[in-house]
């Protein structure tokens, strides 16, 4: 906390003054313990404790915040057991892994992103190269892969056996009106290869929900008051090839304003895109909201804008999951989610833990 420079404290104070004069929030603000934190910290989605911890170590060694978080999320991208990010991520409906990622660097207010990139394990690092070495913000598809290869990234098969089996099981069971036999139509079951019944798949630890989301977000604030944000994902499993989620969309899946804060999203990407969710969180913090309140207020806007009946539950609430994570310029941090169960990770002085996101609907 004491490492924040005086001008940063003044900037943080100015945020509150600005909010008061703008009459930004009349509702009492939700305040969680993280909202009272001050000074440098790294936050991540709940699956990103290792990423946050690594990024925290690196910013202690004076590494740039964008480099630190990209190095942090690399751990999750490289992990074949996280089936929602990088290597081992679940593929699209054709069985091809297509990854999305973005990075935003507070001090230069530059962003870089890649979408639908294939055969490259660390899309966040590629996004950082887009940011650093080009005048573009976003490169997609085959162009993103060519760019990565030119930058020296290695071409690799990202589809692990486990992800391929999970995809194949989804594919053969998704409809009876094709030539793939569903599990309950097989004449005999294979024994030990994981090609058989749902029970066998479960026994082999191959069971996955029919439809999965999953992403890692990470944002950092260093002692000098500089911020960066990064989000990386394999996106929605079984997506239509070419589908781009919110993660690489600057302002939706992540956003950073060095004068205000950084934020990110995981969950239903289309909802985050339709509401420019990460941008909104940062904007709310610029107007003086606590990070927790800024995340909740954004989710309230998402709720208000969810008009399609198929996306509403019997209480008229959005039925999908969307989680928002935020860190403010002064070091306050928080997270919120639509329904109970969301979590976020934090690493800071004396802290490395996963905390619960505040749910909008209890």
Q: Which of residues 268-327 bind ligand ASP (CB under 6 A)?
A: 269
What residues contact residue 329 under an 8 Å CB cut-off, 6+ apart?
Answer: 8, 11, 12, 15, 221, 225, 227, 258, 259, 260, 261, 285
Of 46 and 288, which CB lies nearer to ligand ASP in the complex structure?
A: 46
Residue 199 tokens read as 């029970």
Of 236 and 302, which CB lies nearer to ligand ASP in the complex structure?
A: 236
In the complex, what is the shortest distance from the CB of residue 104 to ligand ASP, in angstroms, rounded to a whole number?
16
In the complex, what is the shortest distance from the CB of residue 260 to ligand ASP, in angstroms, rounded to a whole number?
23
Choices 7-15, 107-115, 207-215, 329-337 (CB under 6 A): range interacting with ligand ASP:
207-215
Choices 133-141, 261-269, 281-289, 345-353 (CB under 6 A): range interacting with ligand ASP:
261-269
Of the residues 48, 106, 251, 267, which one makes contact with ligand ASP according to CB under 6 A: 267
Say how far residue 362 (Cα) sits from the centre of its chain. 23
Of 245 and 261, which CB lies nearer to ligand ASP in the complex structure?
A: 245
Of 101 and 260, which CB lies nearer to ligand ASP in the complex structure?
A: 101
166 counts as catalytic: no
Rg (CA), the chain: 21
In the complex, what is the shortest distance from the CB of residue 272 to ligand ASP, in angstroms, rounded to a whole number?
6
End-to-end CA distance of the chain: 33
Active-site residue identified among 65, 215, 231, 290: 215
In the complex, what is the shortest distance from the CB of residue 224 to ligand ASP, in angstroms, rounded to a whole number?
30
Say how far residue 335 (Cα) sits from the centre of its chain. 12
Residue 99 tokens read as 């990854």
In the complex, what is the shortest distance from the CB of residue 69 to ligand ASP, in angstroms, rounded to a whole number?
16
Q: Which of residues 215-254 bind ligand ASP (CB under 6 A)?
A: 215, 233, 235-236, 245-247
* Interhelix angle 291-305/277-286, nearest 10 degrees: 140
Told to check if 213 binds ligand ASP by CB under 6 A, we report yes
Of the residues 40, 214, 251, 342, which one makes contact with ligand ASP according to CB under 6 A: 214
Name the residue with tokens 């609907």: 361
331: left (phi over 0), alpha (psi -120 to 50) or beta: left
Residues 280, 298 contacting (CB under 8 angstroms): yes
What residues contact residue 149 under an 8 Å CB cut-off, 6+ apart?
Answer: 120, 155
Backbone angles phi, psi at 310, to 5 degrees: -65, -15
Q: Which residues bind ligand ASP (CB under 6 A)?
A: 213-215, 233, 235-236, 245-247, 266-267, 269
Q: What are the residue numbers of the active site? A: 215
């Amino acid at each position: 906390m004491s490492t924040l420079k005086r001008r940063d404290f003044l900037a943080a104070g100015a945020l509150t003054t600005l909010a008061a004069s703008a009459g930004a929030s009349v509702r009492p603000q939700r305040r969680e313990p993280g909202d009272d934190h001050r000074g440098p910290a790294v936050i991540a989605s709940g699956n990103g404790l290792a990423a946050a911890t690594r990024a925290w170590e690196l910013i202690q060694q004076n590494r740039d915040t964008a480099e630190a978080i990209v190095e942090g999320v690399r751990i999750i991208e490289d992990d074949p057991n996280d089936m929602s990010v990088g290597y081992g991520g679940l593929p699209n409906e054709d069985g091809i892994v297509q990854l999305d990622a973005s990075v935003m660097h507070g001090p230069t207010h530059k962003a870089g992103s890649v979408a639908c990139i294939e055969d490259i394990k660390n899309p966040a690092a590629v996004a950082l190269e887009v940011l650093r070495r080009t005048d573009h913000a976003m490169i997609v598809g085959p162009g993103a892969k060519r760019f990565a290869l030119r930058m020296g990234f290695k071409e690799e098969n990202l589809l692990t056996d486990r992800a391929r089996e999970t995809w194949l099981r989804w594919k053969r069971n998704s409809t009876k009106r094709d030539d793939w036999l569903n599990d309950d139509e097989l004449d005999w079951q294979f024994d030990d290869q994981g090609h058989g019944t749902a029970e066998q798949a479960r026994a082999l630890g191959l069971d996955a929900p029919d439809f999965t989301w999953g992403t890692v977000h990470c944002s950092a604030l260093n002692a000098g008051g500089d911020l960066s944000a990064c989000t990386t994902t394999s996106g929605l499993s079984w997506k239509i090839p070419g589908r781009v989620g919110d993660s690489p969309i600057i302002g939706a899946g992540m956003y950073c304003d060095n004068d205000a804060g950084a934020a990110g999203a995981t969950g239903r990407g289309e909802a985050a895109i339709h509401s420019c969710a990460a941008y909104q969180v940062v904007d709310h913090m610029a107007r003086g909201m606590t990070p927790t309140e800024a995340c909740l207020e954004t989710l309230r806007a998402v709720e208000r804008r969810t008009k399609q009946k198929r996306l509403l539950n019997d209480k008229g609430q959005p039925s999908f999951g969307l989680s928002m994570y935020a860190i403010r310029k002064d070091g306050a941090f928080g997270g919120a989610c639509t329904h109970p169960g969301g979590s976020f990770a934090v690493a800071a002085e004396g802290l490395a833990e996963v905390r619960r996101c505040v749910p909008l609907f209890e």
